[in-house]
Amino acid sequence: MKDEYNKLEVYIEKSMAYRQALALFEWDAQTIAPDIAMENTAKTIGILSNEYFKNMVNDEVKQLIYHLSDPKNQEELDFNQKAIVKYLKKDFDRLEPIPAEEYQAYSELSAKAMGVWVKAKNNRCFSDFEATLEEIVGYQKKFAGYRAKEGQKLYDVHLSDYEEGFDMEKLDLFFEQVKAAIIPLVKQVKEKNNLIDKSFNSLEYDIAKQKEFCDFIAEYVGFDKKKGVIAESEHPFTMEMHNKDVRITNHFQKNNLESGIFSIIHESGHAIYEMDIDDAITQTPVGCGTSMGMHESQSRFYENIIGRSEAFWVPVYSKLVETFPQQLEEISLKDFVKSLNKSEPGLIRTEADELTYSLHVMIRYEIEKMIFAGELAISDLPKVWNEKYQEYLGLTPANDDEGVLQDMHWAAGNFGYFPSYALGSAISAQIYYFMLEKMPFEKYLSEGNLSPIQEFLRQNIHKYGATKITGDILFEMMNEGLNAEYFIRYLTEKYTKLYNL
Amino acid sequence: MKDEYNKLEVYIEKSMAYRQALALFEWDAQTIAPDIAMENTAKTIGILSNEYFKNMVNDEVKQLIYHLSDPKNQEELDFNQKAIVKYLKKDFDRLEPIPAEEYQAYSELSAKAMGVWVKAKNNRCFSDFEATLEEIVGYQKKFAGYRAKEGQKLYDVHLSDYEEGFDMEKLDLFFEQVKAAIIPLVKQVKEKNNLIDKSFNSLEYDIAKQKEFCDFIAEYVGFDKKKGVIAESEHPFTMEMHNKDVRITNHFQKNNLESGIFSIIHESGHAIYEMDIDDAITQTPVGCGTSMGMHESQSRFYENIIGRSEAFWVPVYSKLVETFPQQLEEISLKDFVKSLNKSEPGLIRTEADELTYSLHVMIRYEIEKMIFAGELAISDLPKVWNEKYQEYLGLTPANDDEGVLQDMHWAAGNFGYFPSYALGSAISAQIYYFMLEKMPFEKYLSEGNLSPIQEFLRQNIHKYGATKITGDILFEMMNEGLNAEYFIRYLTEKYTKLYNL
């Protein structure tokens, strides 16, 4: 068995090398590559993706994976090796049905798509992106079709990629539960909207100074610059090479202080997860966060539970005031923290408050369901998008850049990803209540001592990478699986207190 | 034949994809990768290098290359395809004798070596780098040994890698010729050293402003930012992905204005060469500069022939004065240009003036000859280095960082590269005299119109990439091969006039 595993390991190491190369190309394209480079680089990315595909999807690998997946043949494998085999089996079953040429053609398309999306967004013009998105959706439907089990719906194939065990049935329930609690809260809050003034947030904030403060706050929350890089891109993201090279980006707006700060705390949460993964599994298929939902739980834990709490700002607010004295010297710590938690329906998902955020996710979830059910033509996307925003949030985008073009996810082909954001919020709230019982959480924050919090997350979640699935990690930690009630309790308590409801 | 070529092309495209990936990893490591990333990334680089190697060095490729190298089988091949086959044949004969495991081990070593060198340089301590260099030299000797034809000396194998047709016999002659002319010139200039004052160059120059001016000057000389990126690194370098993505770096010193400006002009010269290569051959093995000597001729043409001329500064000097009014407002254009050409023996090659530069190259050439002849232990390198600097330039480094550790070349395993710098200078002077007959060179410069100069270089040199060898390009352009006399004439005329000798 050991021999068989060693044979498989050669393929694994090669595939991890291709993956790191492809990750580096993506990082590069989104941060510094010249404008027209992709005209040629797309070919390179296509070839490497194809090699990656062929390396893992072939008869010898299939045989090795299937052989090693059999419990009888796992005696000599250790815990990590078993997890790797399981992970590969899933990955193999996901890739194998897709013809290599189609996979390569799609890879070339998606390398170019990001540039098309950025341009269309800059031009505020969905129709510049429509044909490309049509192609992407075409491939994604086709691929999901190849992979779907009998009777399985196309969109469910995508959903289970991001969160094992989730499908439309479960998510419809989850969202209904959340919606039932949120809608009345949103209404009550709307009536008391004047209670919180955050107009100072849209004064002018020098971008170089924002950048300096954001770099500081990233390190403050635990982003280790010896193992990481911070750059800028159109849309903030995290990209891991391995546990000693994790990269995040930020995006600054002159008239929105909160945006840059909370983007960098969010991405730092993702990055800390990846940096904390065990040396023994980095550069293996399980050397990364276990699911998108779990990943988002960590980024949102840092962004919302930690970053929007008063205790967090106690040791660092004065530094922010020093950086922007003109804009902030008359704003008290309490008023600043209130402003961070103000709830107000808006058009941009990434700028949304915790309370309305899930509504943004629901809109995307409903649209994706329609696309994959064949109930929505791509050309109608902006219309449906705008209608839903009017219905859920009472607002209509003036342009596509603040509407249907705002997210990079569809350009990257990430359909089924958005629900993970809402699951992540729910998980983070659940972990929060658990941690309150285990440690003096608030005290740590107000003393500027975040390391026990990170250490707790590392020991209970991060270090395992993807050797365990989300549900198991949660259950082993808390003796309970995902439960939406904690999220509802969290939002209710928070906004009742904030707005004296 | 066409079928055979098509088969070969699949391998070629794959190998170009690996090469671009490896180039990107190198760029990344030298510009932004986190400190300790290479501890894991080295493994990835090793695997990709090995795949690159295996892809091109195997029986099928060998058969295809040998078959297509036969003139009988070339009827259906076009000019570029023939050039590619010839290039691959040379490359194949270079790689094939090296066992794959050794190649991979060496690739992993050299991925780490750069970091070791940077640290040792920062610590000013050669012994921190000694063991790594010892290993690199060990591999390089072994590889040269595998490749040497009967009776061929190890160092000659390296020399011919960088410049086809050159060996120690020819270079000894070339350097003697140049030396015979330079040594008396250096002496004469030394006596009149006080004639030129460049003390203003070591005043304090704000680095952010230097960067801004250098970015401007790069575009001014022809670096196209739509197809390129400028970043910072320990040692300036150029890295091409393809003709639509060419990257250069700069390195700034607070107390040396000239250093940053002429580094960026130098690297822009390299970059313009790569950007000008024909679309038809980019992303093929001949889609790059034809030799190191030719490459250096272009960088030095931009740096010295263009950048250090008075005419070049006529339209842009005022901008530099505006950037640094305190330091420069009392320095006239004429005195500024004189300062750029001042000759003074120094310790740092990259900071050397045109006259003493070749002496720096000769020292490295002589040391490399000794290393490969087994006449010099690596541990004795600092001692011999310092002795030679005393002998040739009358100076002794105070620390290794301004001595034997100053260049990245040995860390990168680039033995045999240094002579190309001197050949490059000689070629650039020869091209200069030819261009003087063909166009109003000085008029173009003083009008700020550099495009006819670039166009001439594009049409006569750049566009061909490596489809023709250096000697042929020079001969087809000027009806004469490399001739050191032009370089000697150039230095003699220039310094006689500058110092009223």
Residues facing A232 on adjacent strands: A250
Angle subtended by helix axes B127-147 and B100-122, to nearest 10: 150
Task: Work out the average pLDDT over A409-427.
Answer: 95
As a whole number, mean pLDDT of residues B201-218 equals 98
Read off the pLDDT band of B261 (50, 70, 90).
very high
Q: Do B227 and A37 touch (CB under 8 A)?
A: yes
Interchain contact, A245 vs B37, CB within 8 Å? yes
At B432 the three-state DSSP class reads helix
Q: Tell whether the torsion through CA atoms of A18, A24, A28 and A31 is positive or negative.
A: positive
Residue A167 scores a pLDDT above 90: yes
Q: Of A191 and A310, which is predicted with more confidence? A: A310
> What pLDDT does B110 receive?
85
* Predicted pLDDT of residue A203: 97
| Average confidence score pLDDT of chain B | 95
Query: What's the N-to-C CA distance of chain A in angstroms?
Result: 63
The CATH label, of 3.30.1330.60, 1.10.1370.30, 3.40.50.11540, 3.30.2320.80, for the domain at A168-499 is 1.10.1370.30
User: B280 φ, ψ to 5°?
Assistant: -65, -25
Average of per-residue pLDDT across B167-190: 92
* pLDDT over 70, % of chain A: 100
DSSP secondary-structure letter at A480?
S
The C-alpha atoms of residue B460 and residue B478 are separated, in whole angstroms, by 10
What are the structure tokens assigned to B359, written together? 């002496």
High-pLDDT (> 70) share of chain B, % = 100
- The reported pLDDT for the residue numbered A481 is 87
pLDDT digits over A262-282, tens only? 999 999 999 999 999 999 999
> Is B26 a residue of the active site?
no
pLDDT at B114: 87
Q: Which two tokens stand for residue A224?
A: 């280790």
The tens digit of pLDDT for each residue in B431-446 reads 999 999 999 999 999 9
Percent residues over pLDDT 90 in chain B: 90
Mean pLDDT of A394-413: 94
Q: Which of B48, B228, B241 sits opposite A41 (nearest CB)?
A: B241
Interchain contact, B226 vs A35, CB within 8 Å: yes
Kindly list the strands in the beta sheet with B238-242, ordered across the sheet, starting from the edge strand earlier in the chain. Answer: B228-232, B245-250, B238-242
CB contact under 8 A, B283 and A37: no
Q: A24–B20: do the CB atoms touch at under 8 Å? A: no
Specify the DSSP class assigned to residue A305.
I
C-alpha closest to that of B495 among B423, B418, B429, B427: B429
The answer to whether the beta carbons of residues A220 and A450 sit under 8 Å apart is yes
Mean pLDDT throughout B113-135?
95
| Residues of chain B contacting A283 with CB distance shorter than 8 Å | 40, 43-44
Cβ pair A34:B244 closer than 8 A? yes
Alpha carbon distance B353, B484 (integer Å)? 18
B17 → closest Cβ in A48, A229, A241 = A48
DSSP state string for B312-368: HHTTTHHHHHHHSHHHHTTS-HHHHHHHHH-----S-GGG--HHHHHHHHHHHHHHH
**What distance in Å separates the CA atoms of residue B266 and residue B354, rounded to the nearest whole number?**
13
Sequence-separated (6 or more) residues with CB below 8 Å from residue B438: B456
How confident is residue A302, by pLDDT bands cut at 50, 70 and 90? very high
Among B232-241, B277-286, B460-469, the range scoring the smallest mean pLDDT is B232-241
User: What is residue A114's predicted lDDT score, i.e. its pLDDT?
Assistant: 87
Does the pLDDT at position B416 exceed 70? yes
Give the best residue of A19, A43, A45, A245 to mutate against chain B (max B CB count within 10 A): A245
d(CA B454, CA A282): 48
- CA angle B421–B422–B423, rounded 5-degree value: 90
Q: CA nearest A492: which of A194, A258, A183, A176?
A: A183
Out of A126-135, A421-430, B176-185, B207-216, pick the least confident.
Answer: B176-185
For residues B253-275, give the mean pLDDT: 97
For chain A, what's the residue count? 501
ipTM of the complex model = 0.87
Q: CA of A402: how far to CAs of A253, A370, A371, A385, B494, in Å?
A: 14, 21, 21, 11, 61
* Choice among A130, A163, A240, A267 that is catalytic: A267
Which pLDDT value is given to residue B92? 87
Question: What is the reported pLDDT for A66?
Answer: 95
Select from B25, B32, B44 the Cβ nearest to the Cβ of A229: B32
Rounded distance, CA A356 to CA A361, Å? 9
Cβ contacts of residue A388 below 8 Å, gap of 6+?
A363, A366, A367
Answer yes or no: do B282 and A40 touch at CB < 8 A: yes
CB pairs under 8 A between A and B: 111
Contacts of B233 in chain A (CB under 8 A): none
Tokens representing A400 are 């596509």
Sign of CA dihedral B184, B190, B193, B196: positive
With CB atoms and an 8 Å threshold, state whether A227 touches B51: no
Indicate if the pLDDT at residue A1 is higher than 70. Answer: no
Which range is least confidently modeled, A229-233, B193-197, B448-452? B193-197
Model confidence at B1: pLDDT above 80:
no
Q: What integer best gives the mean pLDDT of chain A?
A: 95
String of DSSP letters for A143-168: HHHHHPPTT--HHHHHHHHHSTT--H
Q: What pLDDT does residue A308 have?
A: 97
B157 vs B193, higher pLDDT: B157
Which pLDDT score is estimated for A106? Answer: 92
Spell out the alpha helix ranges (H) of A222-275: 257-275
Token pair in block for residue A133? 């998105």
Structure-token pair, residue A197: 């003034």
Q: How confident is the model at residue A351 (pLDDT cuts 50, 70, 90)?
A: confident
Provide the sign of the torsion angle of the four alpha carbons B101, B102, B107, B108, taken in this order: positive
Domain locations along chain A: 2-147, 168-499
Question: CA distances (Å), B294 to each of A274, A296, B265, B270, B461, in order?
Answer: 45, 52, 16, 10, 9
CA dist., res. A203 & res. A199, Å (int): 7
| Distant-in-sequence, close-in-space partners of B279: CB < 8 Å, separation ≥ 6 | B243
At B2, the pLDDT band (50, 70, 90 cuts) reads: confident
Q: How confident is the model at residue A95 (pLDDT cuts 50, 70, 90)?
A: confident
> In A233-353, where does DSSP find H-type helix?
257-275, 292-300, 310-313, 317-323, 325-328, 333-341
Mean pLDDT of B129-157: 96
Structure tokens at A389: 């925003």
Q: For chain A, list residues whose CB is within 8 angstroms of any CB belonging to chain B.
A: 13-14, 16-17, 20-21, 24-25, 28, 32-37, 39-41, 43-44, 47-48, 51, 225-229, 231, 241-245, 282-283
Nearest-5° angle of CA A200, CA A205, CA A208?
Answer: 155
Give pLDDT tens digits for A362-372.
999 999 999 99
- Residue in chain A closest to B21 (alpha carbons) equals A21
Interface mutation vs chain B, best among A104, A112, A240, A244, most B CBs within 10 Å? A244
CA distance A486 to chain B (A): 38
Per annotation, catalytic residue among B130, B240, B258, B267: B267
**No. of H helices and E strands in chain A?**
22, 3
- Cβ(B227)–Cβ(B275) under 8 Å? yes
pTM to 2 decimals? 0.88
pLDDT tier, A96 (very low <50, low <70, confident <90, very high otherwise): confident
Per-residue pLDDT at B58: 92
* Calpha distance A168→A182 (Å, rounded): 20
Partner residue facing A40 (CB), from B36, B228, B242: B242
User: What value does the mean pLDDT take over residues B272-288?
Assistant: 97
The sign of the CA dihedral A143, A149, A153, A159 is negative
Q: Which residues of A touch B287 (CB under 8 A)?
A: none
Burial of A3 (0-12, 13-18, 19+ CB in 10 A): exposed
| Pairing outcome for strands A245-250 and A228-232 | parallel
